[in-house]
Structure 1
Amino acid sequence: MKKNTKVKKQAKFLRFIRKIHRTLGAVLFIFFFFISVTGILLGWKKNTGGIIQAKSYAGISTDFKHWLPVDSLHTIACNVLRDSVSTDLSQELDRIDIKKNKGMIKFIFAEDFWGIQLDGTTGKLLHIEERRSDFIEKVHDGSILDYYLGTTGDQIKLLYTSIMGISLLMFTITGFWLWYGPKRMRKGKRATTT
């Protein structure tokens, strides 16, 4: 009798877990879909022939003493952005990637995901790229809303990643219980019949 009550409690708990799992899945389906698709794209970004992320082109020297000063290279990159992409874009930088082993410096602009690769020695333009991988990454981590809404401090990204992280953790725990719970119940039923 006591064991039968225990099995009923386990069944009730399992129904509760199933309801949480099903509700989380239904509510968060679209978010999990975007996270998984963008995660796959980010994993493959260097293997897409330049569609998602452009290759890093090589300059003529990997020795910094032959390179132009960074401020001169920055001026060249801003001129290329203005002359070759758009005069309307902001020249505010997101970051600068120095690829010493390639003899190349990449200026990544904050607006509209543009990157300019220059030879570090001559300042010659190596490549203009629309950085699709940066856009995909922002969709992946939710910071795309911070970008378009102009929020500072990544508030939306922090909220989004916290909610999605906790949800994925809950999904994992409830999924485990949906697998383990019936095994435990069967074991309990066998014990009551013997």
Structure 2
Amino acid sequence: MTSFNPRIWNRKLHRWGSIAVALPFLVVICTGLLLQLKKQLAWVQPPEQRTSVHVPTVTMEQILATAKSVPEAKVASWDDIDRLDVRPGKGLVKVVTVDHWELQLDLATGALLQSTYRRSDLIESLHDGSWFHDLVKLWVFLPAAVIVLGLWITGMYLFLLPFRARANKRRVAPSPVE
């Protein structure tokens, strides 16, 4: 019977842990990179328009009417709208539909400033695993994150091990005779 060697077990855990998290972690890394650049890549998230108005005067009825007037947004009622994002400092309100379409409207008139497909919400749901299913988020992506934390810890241990060994050699080495 072999004895328990922490160095060997650490390496084995590190090796097999990296295999276990390879696919979910690849998804997290790739989507994370896209999310880091979402303000720079219009493909991910549409750039925000600006107006000179900083006090909202547009009514909810005007917002809905403008949203309904954009065919690609497919808005028939408030049920088709996921959220409104009011940005008074930029003079606009973003209307995000359940189909991930983003309409940017003027806060004063409700006029359409921009209409574009918004991918950042989809990428975020891929990033946290909820796009696949809530159970995948909790039973695949969460454990993968815990394993990645363990890989970081074992990796730091493996990185520091040679330094520790050298320090021990210096401490144990006989001092030169004077």
Q: TM-score, normalised by structure 2?
A: 0.81
After the TM superposition, which residues 10-159 of structure 1 pair with which residues of structure 2 at under 5 Å, given as runs?
A: 12-48=5-41, 50-64=42-56, 67-77=57-67, 79-81=68-70, 83-86=71-74, 91-111=79-99, 113-146=100-133, 154-159=134-139
Cα gap change, 1:190 to 1:89, in 2 (>3 Å): farther
Aligned counterparts of 1:144 and 1:89: Cα–Cα separation in 2: 25
Shift of 1:123: 1.4
Measured in 2, the distance between the counterparts of 1:93 and 1:72 equals 14
8 Å CA contact 2:24–2:141 kept in 1: the answer is no
In structure 2, the CA distance between the partners of 1:159 and 1:120, relative to structure 1 (3 Å rule), is farther
Give the drift of 1:43: 0.8
Unaligned 5+ residue runs, structure 2? none
Q: Is the 8 A contact 2:55 2:107 kept in 1?
A: no
Secondary structure of 1:34's match?
helix
Once the 2 structures are TM-superposed, how far is the Cα of residue 174 of structure 1 from its aligned partner? 0.9
**Distance 1:88-1:74 versus aligned 2 partners, 3 A rule:** closer
Return the TM-score normalized by structure 1.
Answer: 0.75
- Which structure 1 residue ranges, 5 or more long, are not aligned? 1-8, 147-153
Q: Do 2:24 and 2:140's aligned partners in 1 also have CA atoms closer than 8 Å? A: no
| Paired residue total | 173
> What per-residue deviation string (whole Å, max 9, x for no partner) do you get for residues 84-130 of structure 1?
3447999433221101112111111123x111111121111111111
Offset of residue 171 of structure 1: 0.8
The percent of aligned pairs where both chains have the same amino acid is: 29
- In the aligned structure 2, how far is the partner of 1:92 from the partner of 1:102? 25
**How many Å apart are 1:31 and its aligned residue?**
1.7
Q: Deviations over 1:32-72 (max 9, x none)?
A: 22211111111111112x222111112352122xx122343
RMSD over equivalenced CA pairs, Å: 2.9
Moved more, 165-174 or 89-98: 89-98
The SS at the match of 2:47 is coil
Greater percentage in helix: 1
